[in-house]
Structure 1
């Protein structure tokens, strides 16, 4: 199964959402928010200081949008102005990341935990797993007024998230897994537990091993970290954006290669849709699967290339 390109010319299209009969998304490289009704070109709705990240809406219709480098969540008022809704300055150890907003207006926001792109400009991605491993980051939960409700324990690059079956499921991109939380009545997240592991256990143990096995595995992994090789692999899966699928499954945008993967609880792979480039976000809506794809996820390079695309597959 292969998706078709329906929009192009973006930096890093991310955080795909379906709202008021249209597809909405951010461009992380250019700090813009876009809306597409399925015909013609996408409309530029908003420019966000500090690079636009995750998207959501309050029950009264006001939009929330993450400022990645501003370490905050903005709220767009009816007159179009932006005001700080939630401040993550004392929480985020790196750029603020994706966000999920529930039907009560509670916003769940992750962050990188460290300067990921600065690291991988200097070293292969596999070297992140040399002990003690990448720095973790919590998910911050804010109420509809922007007040902090609580923080989770640190996760490995918390990214896209969905609400399903009474649980909150988040993609841990660098952990190569989906993790579920129980949502308390007051909105706090507790009881983290595995929803799906997306890397073979033996490979995870090897790449994180503190001794010779780990050094060899990380070195071999860095040699194999080439697009021509990665696109022919089926494992592991680094989950970036995620979306609910049919029957309680979850679609995962695989940041390691050009594909969206449908996952069942426990980790069984039920289907794959190929895309033309690395895939950072996905969304099932209106009988279609949408994907945000990029030639590179480095925002500086991507902003110069403008090779980001929105791709679509009819389910």
Structure 2
């Protein structure tokens, strides 16, 4: 029997960027452009509204919060007195909405972006057409110093969304959503990333080759994929998996993946073996293993991934499963 998460918060827009900070769950609502804090009971508190819409979250070592402005091309910093100030202006570097934010123990910050306007693309064309050669635009992560100045940028990635740093600080794992894979990097002493390698492929190699084929086989595969891109079909499928946000399991070795293709989170071992699946009530965008016991899987879900429609529907949820 497939295990399922329970809904603990409802009536949101499009929640995501789940974080655990100071014994509370924090998250952004992409549809409303706001950051929220939930203590575990009652409703969530609205912390701040972000110009350009709230994206990824993180905290500097001194406790000040950083939040991405998805459509504003910036990272903002929430001061102790409640003022929201510009931390970094990334507009000349990004090709689409600014997405996730990861702050390491020293205050260095990693910030990604889509590389193109995915929502507008999805309005005009089926998702499968993203794989028509030359494929989707790529995007680099920006490396920021603790003061917000730009240190460097990474090599281009395919729609980087979720990022994790290993417990020993030596490795970063990044979800390349559209490539349906997790990629690992060594973290150099200066914080830059090196030695990219496949951590887990979440699509069969043969299907990946066909999706990206420039000839007749590719055109047929993309057309069939479009025909099969229906919620009722996706709900009953086990593969492929498009990783959105990521979370280390409590074992520190395996990774929980929010599968943006259907309502589930999956636990993946290095190499790609699927160890667990937790069903959700609707499509997932973010996951986090945290809580006061460190063994609760929090999951952000929404009925649609278009922020304007999600705002109208008000069906976003936080779901929870005890591990």
Instruction: Give the TM-score normalised by structure 2.
Output: 0.96
Whether the aligned pair in 1 keeps the contact of 2:13 and 2:32 (CA below 8 Å) is: yes
**Partner residue in 2 for 1:145:** 147
Alignment-derived partner of residue 202 in structure 1: 206
**Hey, what does 2:280 align to over in structure 1?**
275
What SS does structure 1 have at the residue aligned with 2:4?
Answer: coil
Residue 174 (str. 1) matches residue 182 (str. 2): no
Q: After TM superposition, list the pairs within 5 Å mapping 1:9-48 onto structure 2.
A: 9-48=11-50
Partner of 1:84: 86
How many matched pairs?
315
Unaligned runs of 5+ in 1: none
**How big is the shift at 1:265?**
0.8
Give the secondary-structure state (helix, strand or coil) at the position aligned to 2:46. strand
Cα deviation, 1:46-89, whole Å, max 9, x if unaligned, reads 11010000000000000000000110100011111111111111
Equivalent residue, structure 1, for 2:197: 193
Instruction: Note the 1:124-139 alignment, pairs <5 A.
Output: 124-139=126-141
Q: Which position in structure 2 is the counterpart of 1:303?
A: 311
The residue that corresponds to 1:252 in the other structure is: 257
* Match 2:244 to one of 240, 244, 252: 240
**Aligned twin of 1:212:** 216
The answer to whether the 8 A contact 2:250-2:295 is kept is no
Give how far 1:105 is off: 0.9
The Cα RMSD (Å) is: 0.7
Q: Does 1:221 align with 2:225?
A: yes
The more displaced of 186-195 and 258-267 is 186-195
The offset of 1:10, in angstroms, is 1.0
Where does 1:92-107 land on structure 2 (aligned, <5 Å)?
92-107=94-109
Name the SS of the counterpart of 2:225 in structure 1.
helix
Three-state SS of the structure 1 residue aligned to 2:220 is helix
Q: List runs of 5+ in structure 2 lacking aligned partners.
A: none
Three-state SS of the structure 2 residue aligned to 1:256 is coil
By how many angstroms is 1:219 displaced? 0.3
- Aligned mate of 1:184, from 184, 188, 196: 188
User: Is structure 2 residue 269 aligned with structure 1 residue 264?
Assistant: yes
**Aligned counterparts of 2:266 and 2:208: Cα–Cα separation in 1:** 20
Q: Distance in 2 between matches of 1:12 and 1:104?
A: 30
Structure 2 Cα separation of the partners of residues 86 and 191 of structure 1 = 27
Task: Map Cα deviations across residues 202-249 of structure 1 (whole Å, 9 max, x no partner).
Answer: 000001100000000000000000000001001000000100113311
Alignment deviations for residues 147-190 of structure 1 (CA, whole Å, 9 cap, x no partner): 11111111110001110152011100001000111111111111
Corresponding residue to 2:296 among 266, 276, 288: 288
Compute the displacement of 1:300 (Å): 1.2
Q: Which residue of 2 aligns with 1:111?
A: 113
Distance 1:310 1:272 in 2: 17
Q: Please give the alpha-carbon distance, in whole angstroms, between the structure 1 residues aligned to 2:264 and 2:55.
A: 21
